[in-house]
Amino acid sequence: MLFNSWKFIGFFLVIYAVIGLFRRSRTRVIYQNFFLLAASYTFYAGWHTWYLLLIIGSTLVDYFVGLQLGKTADPVKRKILLWISIGVNISVLCFFKYYDFGVENLVLMLGAIGLEPDIRVLNLVLPVGISFYTFQTLSYTIDIYRREMEPTKDLVSFALFVAFFPQLVAGPIERAKKLLPQLQQPRIVTWDDLRYGGLYTVMGFFYKVVIADSVVALGANAFKYTDTVSGLANISGILAFSLRAYGDFAGYSFIAIGIARLMGIRLSQNFNTPYLSTSITELWQRWHMTLFSWFKDYIYIPLGGNRKGKVRTYFNILVVFYISGVWHGAAWTYILFGVYHGVLVMIERVFREKKEDMDIRPVWWIQGLKRIRFYGLWLIGIAMFFADSMEQFYQVLYHSFANAFYQPGDMEVYLMPVLIWHLILFSYHAWQRKQGSQAALLGQPVVVQLAAYVFMISTILAVGFRVQPYIYFQF
C-alpha cells in the first residue's frame, strides 16, 4: 500500500477516526496500541503476507533477548545474548537481500577459472523495509546491552515500535529510547501537532507526487537512450534523478513524520535542506540523518571513531560508507556509491584539517563555489545510484561529454523542467534555512499559509497519483 494512493489515504482516515475514539487514559493507550499494531501489520501484509512472519519473528527475538539482558549482569552471557540478536537479524537480512547477488557473482568468479558450480539463485522477493526495521530493532538490544535503557515488558508497545506503519518501510529509523516512551503514554494531540502534522503531510505529498514522480520518465528515458540523446540530455537525466531521489525519499519521510504527528507521536527529522550543502560531509549530516546517526553510534564509534589516529579514522570512515553502500542494495553500483562517498569524505577531512591549521575564513562567494562543487560531485553519485549496472553508469557519464552537446528540442524537453524545479527547490530551501526551520511556513501570516496550502493541494490533485513506488522500498 503506497502513501501516494487514495487507498492509503482512506486507510489512514479510518485509523485516525478509530484511535480518536479512545480516551486519554493508560488503559485506553493499551487498546489503542493493539489497534495500531493490527493496522501496522495489515499495512505491511499488503505487500507480502508471509513476510509478515519475518517482522514478527524479529520482534519476538529482540523482545526476549532484551528481557534476558535486563536480568543478567554476567558479561559473557550478555555478549552471547547480544550476538544472538545481531546474528538472527543480520542473517535474515543478508539471506533475503544478498543471497542471489552473492550466488550470481560467485558463479561468475568460478566460471572465470573454468569451474561450473551447480548453485542456483532463488529469485527471492526482498521483504519491503527489512533494512529499516532490522536496524531499528537492533538498536533496542544494543542500547540495553550498553545499559543506556531498560528493557520493556510491554510486548504490544515493543511490537508497535518495530512495526509502526508510518515509518515502517522507509524510515526514519527510530531509537527505542525515544519512540517507546511515546507509545506507552497517553497521547494528547495538540493544536501544534495538527498544524505541524498537516504541513509535513501535505509537503511530503507535494515532494513525492509533484516533484519526484513528474521527472521519473525524463530521467529514465535519458538513461535508456544515453547513446542516442545529446550530452545535455544525459546531464539533464542525471539532474532529474537527483530531484527524484530527494523528492521521493524526503517526501516519504515528511509524510511519515506528518501522519505520526497527527496522532500525537513525534518522529525524528530525516532531511534538512541537504542540497544546499557545501560538502559531501555536510550532505550526510543532512540527508537520511537517522541512518547515518545509526552508523555513527553503532559502527563508527565502536570501531574507534576518530580516537585512534588519522589513518584509523580514515579507515573507519571508509568502512561505514562501504556498509552504507551495501545497505542500499545488492548491486555493485550501490557498493561503488558508498565507497565513492567515503573517499570524498576522507579527502574533505584532510583538506578541512589543513584549512583549520591555516585559519582560513570562508566568504560568501567561496561558499557558493563550494555548493556548485558539491552538487557536481553528488550528481556523479546519483548516476551510480540509478544506473542499472556499472556499464550503464559508465555509458551515462561517457555520453554526457562524448555525444553532441545539444540537439533541437533539448532545452524544452529535458533541461527546462529540471532547471525550473531546481530553482524552486533551492530557493525554498534557502528561505527555510534563513527562517531557521523546515516548518517556517507556520510562522507566516494566515493568508500566506492558506495560499501555500491551496497551491500545494490543488497541484497535487491536478497532477494526480501515478502510483509510482518509492525508491527506498527496495532497500
Give catalytic residues, as residue numbers.
328
CA distance 385 to 404: 25
CA-based angle 80:81:83, to the nearest 5? 65
CA distance 276 to 433: 9
User: Which segments of 263-363 does DSSP mark as H helices, in order?
Assistant: 280-286, 289-295, 301-303, 310-328, 332-358
Residue 74: left (phi > 0), alpha (psi -120 to 50), or beta?
beta
CA distances from 321 to 5, 303, 343, 370 (A): 34, 13, 9, 22
User: Which uninterrupted H or E stretch holds 174?
Assistant: none
CA distance 430 to 125: 41
CA distance 47 to 168: 12
Cell numbers linked to 462:
491536478
Cell numbers linked to 7:
487507498
Q: Provide the sign of the torsion angle of the four alpha carbons 451, 455, 457, 462, taken in this order.
A: positive
Single out the residue of 253, 282, 281 nearest to residue 268, CA to CA. Answer: 253
Identify residue 298 by its one-letter amino acid code: Y
Burial label, 112 (beta-carbon count in 10 A; 0-12, 13-18, 19+): exposed
Radius of gyration in angstroms for the set of CA atoms belonging to the chain, rounded to a whole number: 23
Identify residue 150 by its one-letter amino acid code: E
